[in-house]
Structure 1
Amino acid sequence: MDKRKIIYTGNVVDLGIETVTLPTGDSMELEVVRHPGGAAIVAIDGQQRVCMLRQFRHAAGGWLWELPAGKIDAPESPDNTAKRELREEAGLTAEHWQSLGSFLSTPGFCDERIYLYLATTLHTTDSEPHPHEVIEVHWMPFSEALDMCDRNEIEDGKTLLGLARAAGKAGIVAGQQETL
């Protein structure tokens, strides 16, 4: 990046016009959203049920099925964000955590990276949802969540990818389901 002009700074993102030199040598201006990133959690209990949230999202036009997830608060690590969000949104803690990798949500204009985790050996605790979040916590068989993906009932990208990566860890993709 050669130059950045901030257009807007908000609570979650900032938008800037960045002057960049491309690998071809050409120079151009790009609109770029900078985001601190986030973490999403596939929480599986001992009965092979997954914790899913039904959450109202104004920008999406209504209710969505999602995994517990949230924004990284600096200087918090992605691991600590995942633990905090699981507690706040779902009222859960986990003894075992496994990384499911990370991904860029919309790399054409935004640098948001979301870290995915598998959480098992769960324990209930008090939830601490933010007052502006409208969330319902639901438990469903992991296989039902995968079927919902196939029926296009789950539209959230981090949830689709998190469930798919967890299914891969369990051998479900290969048709040999194991316990998560």
Structure 2
Amino acid sequence: MSEGDILKREPIYQGAVIEVSVETVELPDGSQVDLEMVRHPGGAAAVALDEQERVCLLRQFRHAARGWIWELPAGRIDAGEAPGATARRELAEEAGLKADDWIDLGSMYSSPGIFDEVIHLWLGRGLSELPHEHEHGEVIEIHWMPLSQALDWCDDGTITDGKTLVGLYRTSAYLKSQAELLSEDPGC
């Protein structure tokens, strides 16, 4: 038996997006526990960064957050869709943008104590505008701000969305690593 084997699974709810169940699992120490689990197909988020190092952020109304929050363009992975394709689709749908260059920023778990959702993060550069229309039920404002200001908002608690925090911090780290590589290159 491998770590985290499901010994028993009791479905509780099957929705259009999530599945909820109680699973009896064996932990690495051999103990067994019942866990309430939410299964989700995963998602992808796009950090759209223009030539002036401004980032596209969405101010979006979220019922679960009880109001407006700042987020990256993001959404659920459709069946059979690759995470990069999801990031491209969501950037177009939510922000009306297309990126020519994409950099994989890795992935993250949104809340691994209860959800199996993995969010894949992408940096999009070489931006151009597209016509777009938000889906029914989406209340979104599109904003541009310097990446430095967005990072300040991460630090001071203005931005509270996990995928947005991780995406912006990883973008900053990526840009710093690229700048260091350029400064070390004797041909520069």
TM-score, structure 1 normalization: 0.93
Q: How many residues align?
A: 176
Q: 5+ unaligned residues in a row in structure 2: which ranges?
A: 1-5, 183-188
Q: CA deviation at 1:131?
A: 1.1
Identity of aligned residues (%): 56
Give the helix-richer structure, 1 or 2.
Answer: 2
Letter of the aligned partner of 1:119 in structure 2?
Answer: G
Q: Is the 8 A contact 1:87 1:128 kept in 2?
A: no
Instruction: Give the root-mean-square deviation of aligned CA atoms.
Output: 1.7
SS at match of 2:24: strand
Q: 1:96 aligns with which of 82, 85, 101?
A: 101
Structure 1 runs (4+) deviating above 4 angstroms are none
The aligned residue for residue 165 of structure 1 is: 170
For 1:104-148, what per-residue CA distance to the aligned partner results, in whole angstroms no more than 9, with x for missing partners?
111111100000000000010011311110000001111111111
Larger radius of gyration: 2
Match of 2:67 among 59, 62, 68: 62
Q: Give 1:84's aligned residue.
A: 89
Task: Give 2:139's aligned residue.
Answer: 134
| Alignment partner, residue 118 of structure 1 | 123
- Tell me the CA shift for residue 24 of structure 1: 1.8
- Structure 2 residue 36 is matched with structure 1 residue 31: yes
- 1:36: how far off? 0.5
